[in-house]
Amino acid sequence: MAHEMRKAFILFFLGLAGVCSLLLSNIELSAEIQKALAQYSNLQIRLLLLINPTIFLITAIMVGSYLGPKVNLKAPVIEGFIQKIPNTLSIFTSQIKYGFIFGFSSALIVVITILITKNYLPKELIESNKINLHPISRFLYGGITEEILMRYGFMTLFTWLPIAIFKPNISNTKWPYILGIIVSSVLFGLGHLPLAYNLVGYINAPIFLYILLGNGLVGAVCGWLFWKKGLEAAFIAHISAHLVLITFDFFIRS
């Protein structure tokens, strides 16, 4: 129990660093929200925007810390660091290799998808600057905080639920983990639809598929890595994917 508490605190501070990094980013609010918050200064508004992701972060960590051990979903490097397990460094080396390869590959597929579909999508969606995330925010919030929320929290929950209901032998059963990966990836993709709607004012089939596939693919890869290699591998994959996408954004907007 003490080890789980220490892991939870480490994950919280890692995730909180991502939340706080949003202060570096330019997030343009709608006219209605700006009017409702007119009495607050710009700094106060930016700080208020950190409240919800912090609450979500705490909730995800509580869920993952309680349910993760029940379904064997782990953060082996953090756990190894806490418990002083001798082979922790070799585990981390493997996570770096798999995380980089799969994160880089999935991002390349996303880039190819953008290049193929960009002529059928609104220009505002491809070249948006309404939410101009700072690279540090994309690495810390996107790469770490989102993985704690979607993998450590949501994926763990939706893996545990069918196991708790149907009670399969998890040592030789894969489908609850696959279900958890799919559900968390779809939710991650759908979570980007409000932003797309805010940018272009409508959602049609091409936009829906673009958002779902573009974001869900990276989520699925990170989910698989969380299951097979541990949470830190998902961090590395997501950060690697953002590295590719930031490079692509630079060239497409230059």
Residues composing the chain: 254
Amino acid (one-letter) located at 174: K
Residue 49, helix vs strand vs coil: coil
The model's pLDDT over 140-170, given as tens digits with 9 standing for 90+, comes to 999 999 999 999 999 999 999 999 999 888 7
Nearest 5°: phi and psi at 131?
-120, 95
The model's pLDDT over 28-74, given as tens digits with 9 standing for 90+, comes to 666 666 677 778 777 788 888 899 999 999 999 999 999 999 999 99
Domain housing 68: 2-253
The model's pLDDT over 158-217, given as tens digits with 9 standing for 90+, comes to 999 999 999 888 778 899 999 999 999 998 888 878 777 777 777 888 788 888 887 889
Query: What's the pLDDT score for residue 198?
Result: 73
Which residues lie below 8 Å from residue 177, measured CB to CB, with a gap of 6+? 71, 159, 227
d(CA 112, CA 249): 13
% the chain with pLDDT above 70:
92
Query: What's the pLDDT score for residue 212?
Result: 84
Which residues lie below 8 Å from residue 134, measured CB to CB, with a gap of 6+? 21, 24, 25, 26
More confident position, 190 or 252: 190
Mark 71-82 as b/e (b = at least 16 C-beta within 10 Å). Answer: bebbbbbbbbbb
Count of the separate structural domains present in the chain = 1
Between helices 88-117 and 231-253, what is the axis angle to 10°?
A: 30
Amino acid (one-letter) located at 95: Q
pLDDT (average), residues 222-235: 98
DSSP 69: H
Q: In sequence order, what DSSP letters do the residues of 132-154 get, joined into one string?
A: E--HHHIIIIIIIIHHIIIIIII
Give the CA distances from residue 189 to residues 29, 58, 219, 224, 226, in Å, rounded to whole numbers and listed in that order: 21, 21, 8, 16, 18
